[in-house]
């Protein structure tokens, strides 16, 4: 017995020792970290002082610095030769050594969290509301506030972007990222297949909502036994008709709380309790019973296979934009019609969907800003980074249009990731002139009354998480029409209330009222 | 006698049936993967998955071997990591386990506990990441794919279990004959624990071969991407993009993503080598599993 207790004692001792070791490890880290973080700040301050004058006078005097840019997408095999070409080109302009670090879209969020946590220095990073979340980065203090840098080093960005863009990225009055300039306006859309629309006499001009599609879908169902009349999946459909019903879903997908665009009082509603939601899920139920969806729609996660096989008569999701049909055609190999079912709207989420932030760990934030500024102005630089090197990675078809060379080793095909997309060449198949059309669309779009409001989820984190488990369960069922809404919708709403949806609405209203009075 | 045999036959049949059903559950999905990898993409969309391809085609494999550079390099990385990692891990695990299994080593208990403790609790992801990146500076090298798995507590305990069954008399006899500790380990312990080593080696090789997580965390350069990570990336990307892009203003050209048949062909290529390795180890495998049991 005694022996055993002695053993237990040794074990406890060892445990304590190892704990102590671990703790001292932490302590050391804490001590060193502030000094590490101070370092770049100090250098930036001195840098600022020294580089102020060269920026205005002569940039050739700039010291050579490294800039690391984290972007999303597949790592390109020949990225080094592109980096080299960029550095060569910028030698007399900025004198930077650019490193493009591509991380797969699916991993970008995690990778950036780890990079921030480890204190690794980087300069620029892609940020958005769907990958490497913008607000999370701002709340954690990973991004630098850019207002002063923009004023000092980015005259071209300021000139290019419309005012609405800056409103969208503001958090507590400060700007922490530069929105990339591409299609911002969002319009709800359906994509009927052209040959079927012709065959069954679908009058596109008359389609103003999902309901208007019902007769067409009936004919497709009767006449084309091998086709799926309309796309539907686990993600649910209501997200694709929010603008149609005039809702701005500003707190995140399927988080209760929307504001109507035409409501100047900015009253927050629970969209799942709205009559619009009820009529929508009833329509989905009707369509499901008529057999318009895939049978397994409620569990389907990947719709691309059906799209590629051209098996679906009407696709849903995305947005109306100039050149949208050609993009769809390159995926499906069939002509699709682009039919808008809402007015074009500028929302915060549509704008921050593609933006670029500057890291707090950056040692040369002003140089990063100058580089970003050049991307909005300098077409050569933009095309280098978006398309690669001419003759090696792409060939010109005409003055404005290029085509990627197969297996050339560099073709990120995400033109919207690098500053101002309207600086770029058109890709083969895109009609020249769509950039100008897109700018016009952005400028003519209706602004959401909530543009510039950013929602802080911290006070209601638990409620949001609880609600998310409920929506994950009911949304796929209701929005694919797999269950009877007469029975399940009240049950859904009741469970949402139990999970705290009313508290979320109250909190949202509180934040919006505070924002409104501060404006 | 007759009755007994009947009963025996019946339970035998039941056991056979159970295992037949069980192996069918394992084999059929695998057959599906093979079949899909040889099917035409449009057939799958139109008719669903089928055990025998409607139209037999090697298109998916041709597609993969069209630009074989990436595939070959990731194969090489995977093989290098698996071979080097397995050898290193086997040697170090065996040594540690041997020390822990020696009853005449006083620190054996607390040290065993130390190993066991890490089986249950770990430092967490961020400290781990910081250790590799900021202190060891081995991120984005092949070492970052090997070192973290060199000692896995579960393997050490398994090996310790094997080695504890070696009678201490064997070691003593070696000592009497004048052998030092190293000689005892290499000339007596290692040869008699061959089956255990083979089993453990197979386990370790599986860990290295199937790992994509280390690459996800530490590898940036495209020529250090192992096969499984390449596979994982493709799957993960397709899933992430098809769920998150439906709502956004972003257009990503999904037509460039490999389609279903190509993905299955990749799964086949990733699983293939291990299938061939397995029978090679099998002769030791059964012995290895029973080595911990009491022997006559």
CATH number at A268 reads 3.40.190.10
A380-416 burial string, b = 16+ CB within 10 Å, else e?
A: ebbbbbbbbbeeebbeeeeeeebebbeebbbbbebbb
For residue A55, pLDDT beyond 60 = no
**Measured between CB atoms, which of B45, B109, B133 is closest to A7?**
B109
Please tell me whether residues A355 and A488 are part of one structural domain. no
Measured between CA atoms, how close is A49 to chain B, in angstroms? 30
Interchain CB distance below 8 Å, B243 and A235: yes
Domain boundaries of chain B, sorted by first residue: 1-57, 67-290
User: Can you tell me which residue has the tokens 């607000």?
Assistant: A135
3-state secondary structure A188-232: CEEEEEHHHHHHCCCCHHHCCCHHHHHHHHHHHHHHCCCCEEECC
For residue B228, pLDDT beyond 80 = yes
Please state, in angstroms and rounded to a whole number, the distance separating the CA atoms of residues A402 and B26. Answer: 49
Please tell me whether residues A166 and A294 are part of one structural domain. no
- The average confidence (pLDDT) of chain A is 85
CB B233 within 8 A of CB B70: no
Please tell me whether residues A437 and A377 are part of one structural domain. yes
For residue A391, pLDDT beyond 70 = yes
Interchain CB distance below 8 Å, B239 and A104: no
**Measured between CB atoms, which of B42, B66, B246 is closest to A317?**
B246
**What pLDDT shows up at residue B93?**
94
pLDDT band at A5 (very low <50, low <70, confident <90, very high): low
Interchain CB distance below 8 Å, B248 and A330: no
**Measured between CB atoms, which of A226, A303, A353 is closest to B248?**
A353
Interchain CB distance below 8 Å, A308 and B242: no
What percent of chain A clears pLDDT 90, i.e. is strictly above it?
Answer: 50
- Minimum CA–CA partner of B66 in chain A: A407
Q: What's chain A's length in residues?
A: 519
Interchain CB distance below 8 Å, B249 and A10: no
Average pLDDT for residues B226-248, to the nearest whole number?
Answer: 74
CA torsion sign for A155, A159, A164, A165 is: negative
Indicate the range of A22-26, A80-84, A201-205 predicted with least confidence: A22-26
Please state, in angstroms and rounded to a whole number, the distance separating the CA atoms of residues B102 and B82. Answer: 29
Interface check for B2 against chain A (CB to CB < 8 A): the answer is no
pLDDT band at B293 (very low <50, low <70, confident <90, very high): very low
Q: Which chain B residues are Cβ-neighbours of A330 within 8 angstroms?
A: 253, 255
Residues 6+ apart with CB under 8 A from B35: B49, B50, B51, B52, B53
Please tell me whether residues A457 and A446 are part of one structural domain. no
Please state, in angstroms and rounded to a whole number, the distance separating the CA atoms of residues B131 and B137. Answer: 8
E strand or H helix at A316, and its extent?
Answer: strand A312-316
CB B220 within 8 A of CB B158: no
Interchain CB distance below 8 Å, A77 and B44: no
B198-224 burial string, b = 16+ CB within 10 Å, else e?
A: bbbbbbbbebbbbbbebbbbbbeebeb
Give chain A's domain count.
2
Q: Which chain A residues are Cβ-neighbours of B109 within 8 angstroms?
A: 7, 10-11
**What pLDDT shows up at residue A30?**
37
Structural domain including A419 reads 64-182+346-451
Distances (CA, A) of B195 to A416, B159, B204, B288, B289: 57, 11, 14, 4, 8
* A320-351: pLDDT as tens digits: 888 888 888 877 888 999 999 999 999 888 89
**Measured between CB atoms, which of A105, A301, A303 is closest to B237?**
A105
* A431-467: pLDDT as tens digits: 888 999 999 999 889 888 888 887 888 888 889 889 9
For residue B65, pLDDT beyond 50 = yes
Under DSSP, the state recorded for A342 is S
The interface residues of chain B toward chain A in range 53-112, judged by CB-CB distance below 8 A, are 66-67, 69-70, 109-110
For residue B36, pLDDT beyond 80 = yes
DSSP secondary structure letters along B18-43: HHHHHHHHHHHHHHHHHHHHTS-HHH
Q: Which chain B residues are Cβ-neighbours of A131 within 8 angstroms?
A: 240, 244
- The average confidence (pLDDT) of chain B is 82
Measured between CA atoms, how close is B259 to chain A, in angstroms? 7
The answer as to whether A226 is a domain residue is yes
Q: Which chain A residues are Cβ-neighbours of B236 within 8 angstroms?
A: 104, 106-107
Interchain CB distance below 8 Å, A353 and B134: no
Interface check for B130 against chain A (CB to CB < 8 A): the answer is yes
Q: What's chain B's length in residues?
A: 296
Interface check for B128 against chain A (CB to CB < 8 A): the answer is no
User: Can you tell me which residue has the tokens 């607390």?
Assistant: B110
Average pLDDT for residues B135-163, to the nearest whole number?
Answer: 90
The answer as to whether A20 is a domain residue is no
Interface check for A186 against chain B (CB to CB < 8 A): the answer is yes
Interchain CB distance below 8 Å, A104 and B44: no
Interchain CB distance below 8 Å, A186 and B249: yes
- Minimum CA–CA partner of B47 in chain A: A226
For residue B29, pLDDT beyond 60 = yes
Please tell me whether residues A172 and A203 are part of one structural domain. no
Average pLDDT for residues A307-316, to the nearest whole number?
Answer: 88
DSSP secondary structure letters along A123-171: SEEEEBSSSSBHHHHHHTT-B---HHHHHHH-HHHHHHS-HHHHHHHEE
Q: Count contacts between A and B (CB, < 8 Å).
A: 143
Q: Which chain A residues are Cβ-neighbours of B123 within 8 angstroms?
A: 22
Q: Which chain B residues are Cβ-neighbours of A117 within 8 angstroms?
A: 126, 129-130
Please state, in angstroms and rounded to a whole number, the distance separating the CA atoms of residues B158 and B202. Answer: 13
For residue A169, pLDDT beyond 50 = yes
Measured between CA atoms, how close is B278 to chain A, in angstroms? 32
**What pLDDT shows up at residue A313?**
93
**Measured between CB atoms, which of A76, A106, A186 is closest to B236?**
A106
Q: What are the two backbone dihedrals, phi and then psi, of residue A356, each rounded to the nearest 5 degrees?
A: -130, 130
For residue B295, pLDDT beyond 50 = no
Q: Edge-to-edge strand order for the sheet containing A189-192?
A: A228-230, A312-316, A189-192, A339-340
Write out the two tokens for A291: 């057999």
* A494-506: pLDDT as tens digits: 999 999 999 999 9
Interface test with A, best of B131, B248, B260 (most A CBs within 10 A): B248
Distances (CA, A) of A320 to A260, A326, B247: 21, 12, 12
Please state, in angstroms and rounded to a whole number, the distance separating the CA atoms of residues B51 and A185. Answer: 47
**What pLDDT shows up at residue B171?**
87
Q: How many helices (H) and strands (E) does chain B have?
A: 15, 0
Average pLDDT for residues A297-308, to the nearest whole number?
Answer: 80
CA torsion sign for A190, A192, A198, A200 is: negative
Average pLDDT for residues A104-131, to the nearest whole number?
Answer: 89
For residue A21, pLDDT beyond 90 = no
pLDDT band at A58 (very low <50, low <70, confident <90, very high): very low
* B109-140: pLDDT as tens digits: 899 898 889 888 888 888 888 888 888 988 88
Beta strand A96-103 with A65-72 is parallel
Beta strand A174-175 with A228-230 is unpaired
Beta bridge partners of A100: A69
CB A453 within 8 A of CB A513: no
- A186, with CB counted inside 10 A (0-12, 13-18, 19+), is buried
Interchain CB distance below 8 Å, B249 and A7: no
CATH code given to domain B67-290: 1.10.3720.10
The answer as to whether A26 is a domain residue is no
Interface check for B12 against chain A (CB to CB < 8 A): the answer is no
Interface check for A253 against chain B (CB to CB < 8 A): the answer is yes
pTM score, whole prediction: 0.76
Q: Which of A451, A480, A507 is the last residue of a domain?
A: A451
What percent of chain A clears pLDDT 70, i.e. is strictly above it?
Answer: 88
Please state, in angstroms and rounded to a whole number, the distance separating the CA atoms of residues A57 and A59. Answer: 7
**What pLDDT shows up at residue A339?**
93
Please tell me whether residues A425 and A503 are part of one structural domain. no
Interchain CB distance below 8 Å, A303 and B242: yes
Interface check for A354 against chain B (CB to CB < 8 A): the answer is yes
Average pLDDT for residues B168-177, to the nearest whole number?
Answer: 88
Interface check for B4 against chain A (CB to CB < 8 A): the answer is no
Q: Which chain B residues are Cβ-neighbours of A305 within 8 angstroms?
A: 41, 44-45, 259-260
**What pLDDT shows up at residue B250?**
67
User: Can you tell me which residue has the tokens 């799942």?
Assistant: A272
Q: Which of A417, A433, A451 is the last residue of a domain?
A: A451
CB A358 within 8 A of CB A365: yes
Write out the two tokens for A148: 């002063």
pLDDT band at B257 (very low <50, low <70, confident <90, very high): low
Beta bridge partners of A65: A96
The answer as to whether A439 is a domain residue is yes
For residue A50, pLDDT beyond 70 = no
Measured between CA atoms, how close is B11 to chain A, in angstroms? 40
Interface check for A29 against chain B (CB to CB < 8 A): the answer is yes
The interface residues of chain A toward chain B in range 430-459, judged by CB-CB distance below 8 A, are none
pLDDT band at B256 (very low <50, low <70, confident <90, very high): low
For residue A492, pLDDT beyond 90 = yes
pLDDT band at A388 (very low <50, low <70, confident <90, very high): very high
**What pLDDT shows up at residue A393?**
93
Average pLDDT for residues A91-107, to the nearest whole number?
Answer: 89
Please state, in angstroms and rounded to a whole number, the distance separating the CA atoms of residues A378 and A146. Answer: 21
The interface residues of chain B toward chain A in range 171-230, judged by CB-CB distance below 8 A, are 216-217, 220-222, 225
**What pLDDT shows up at residue B8?**
67
Average pLDDT for residues A370-396, to the nearest whole number?
Answer: 93
Please state, in angstroms and rounded to a whole number, the distance separating the CA atoms of residues B183 and B174. Answer: 9
Q: Which chain B residues are Cβ-neighbours of A319 within 8 angstroms?
A: 249
């Amino acid at each position: 017995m005694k022996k055993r207790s002695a053993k237990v004692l040794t074990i406890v001792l060892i445990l304590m020792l190892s704990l102590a070791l671990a703790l001292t490890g932490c302590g050391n880290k804490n001590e060193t970290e502030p000094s590490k973080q101070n370092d770049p700040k100090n250098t930036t301050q001195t840098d600022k002082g020294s580089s102020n004058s060269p920026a205005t006078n002569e940039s050739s005097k700039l010291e050579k610095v490294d800039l690391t840019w984290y972007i999303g997408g597949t790592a390109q095999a020949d990225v080094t030769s592109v980096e080299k070409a960029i550095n060569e080109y910028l030698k007399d302009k900025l004198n930077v050594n650019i490193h493009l670090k591509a991380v797969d879209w699916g991993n970008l969020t995690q990778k950036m969290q780890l990079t921030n946590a480890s204190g690794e220095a980087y300069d620029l990073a892609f940020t958005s509301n769907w990958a490497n979340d913008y607000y999370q980065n701002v709340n954690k203090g990973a991004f630098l506030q850019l207002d002063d840098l923009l004023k000092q080093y980015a005259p071209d960005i300021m000139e290019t972007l419309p005012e609405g863009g800056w409103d969208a990225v503001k958090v507590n009055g400060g700007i922490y990222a530069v929105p990339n300039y591409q299609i911002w306006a969002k319009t709800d859309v359906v994509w009927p297949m052209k040959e079927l629309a012709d065959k069954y006499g679908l009058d596109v001009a008359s389609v103003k909502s999902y309901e208007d599609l019902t007769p067409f879908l009936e004919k497709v169902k009767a006449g084309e036994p091998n086709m799926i009349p309309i796309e539907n999946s686990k993600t649910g459909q209501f997200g694709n008709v929010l603008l149609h019903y005039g809702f701005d879903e500003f707190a995140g997908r399927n988080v209760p709380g929307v504001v109507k665009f035409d409501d100047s009082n900015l009253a927050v509603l629970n969209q799942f309790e709205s009559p619009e939601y009820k009529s929508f899920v009833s329509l989905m139920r009707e369509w499901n019973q008529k057999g318009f969806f895939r049978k397994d729609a409620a569990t389907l996660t990947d719709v691309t296979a059906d799209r590629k096989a051209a098996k679906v008569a009407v696709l849903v999701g995305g947005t109306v934009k100039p050149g949208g049909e050609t993009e769809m055609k390159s995926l499906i190999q069939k002509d699709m019609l682009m039919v808008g079912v809402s007015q074009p709207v500028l929302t915060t989420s549509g704008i921050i969907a593609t933006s670029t932030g500057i890291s707090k760990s950056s040692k040369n934030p002003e140089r990063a800003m100058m580089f970003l500024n050049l991307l909005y102005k300098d077409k050569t630089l933009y095309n280098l980074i978006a398309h690669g090197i001419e003759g090696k990675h792409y060939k010109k078809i005409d003055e404005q249009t290029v085509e990627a060379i197969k297996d050339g080793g560099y073709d990120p095909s995400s033109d919207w990731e690098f500053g101002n997309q309207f600086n770029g060449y058109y890709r083969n198949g895109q009609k020249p002139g769509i950039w100008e059309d897109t700018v016009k669309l952005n400028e003519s779009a209706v602004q959401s009354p909530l543009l510039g409001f950013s929602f802080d989820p911290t006070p209601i984190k638990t409620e949001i998480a609880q609600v998310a488990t409920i929506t994950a369960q009911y949304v796929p069922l209701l929005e694919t029409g797999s269950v009877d809404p007469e029975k399940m919708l009240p049950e859904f709403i009741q469970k949402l209330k139990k999970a705290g949806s009313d508290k979320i609405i109250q909190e949202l209203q509180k934040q919006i009222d505070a924002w409104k009075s501060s404006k | 006698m007759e009755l007994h045999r009947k009963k025996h036959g019946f339970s035998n049949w039941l056991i056979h049936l159970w295992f037949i059903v069980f192996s069918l559950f394992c084999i059929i999905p695998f057959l599906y993967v093979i079949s899909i990898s040889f099917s035409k993409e449009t057939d799958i969309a139109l008719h669903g998955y089928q055990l025998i391809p409607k139209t037999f085609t090697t298109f998916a494999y041709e597609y993969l071997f069209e630009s074989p550079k990436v595939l070959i390099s990731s194969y090489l990385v995977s093989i290098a990591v698996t071979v080097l990692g397995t050898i290193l891990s086997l040697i170090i695990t065996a040594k540690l386990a041997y020390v822990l299994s020696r009853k005449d080593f006083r620190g054996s208990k607390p040290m065993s506990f130390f190993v066991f403790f890490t089986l249950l609790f770990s430092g967490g992801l961020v400290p781990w990441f910081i250790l590799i990146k900021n202190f060891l500076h081995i991120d984005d090298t092949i070492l970052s794919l090997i070192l973290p798995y060199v000692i896995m507590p579960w393997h050490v305990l398994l090996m310790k279990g094997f080695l504890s069954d070696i009678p201490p008399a064997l070691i003593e006899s070696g000592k009497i004959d004048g052998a030092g500790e190293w000689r005892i380990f290499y000339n007596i312990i290692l040869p008699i624990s061959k089956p255990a080593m083979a089993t453990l080696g197979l386990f370790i090789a599986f860990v290295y071969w199937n790992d994509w997580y280390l690459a996800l965390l530490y590898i940036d350069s495209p020529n250090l991407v192992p096969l499984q990570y390449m596979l994982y990336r493709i799957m993960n990307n397709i899933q992430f993009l098809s769920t998150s892009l439906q709502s956004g203003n972003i257009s990503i050209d999904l037509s460039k993503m490999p389609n279903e048949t190509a993905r299955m062909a990749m799964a086949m290529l990733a699983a293939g080598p291990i299938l061939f390795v397995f029978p090679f180890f099998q002769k030791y495998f059964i012995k290895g599993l029973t080595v911990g049991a009491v022997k006559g």
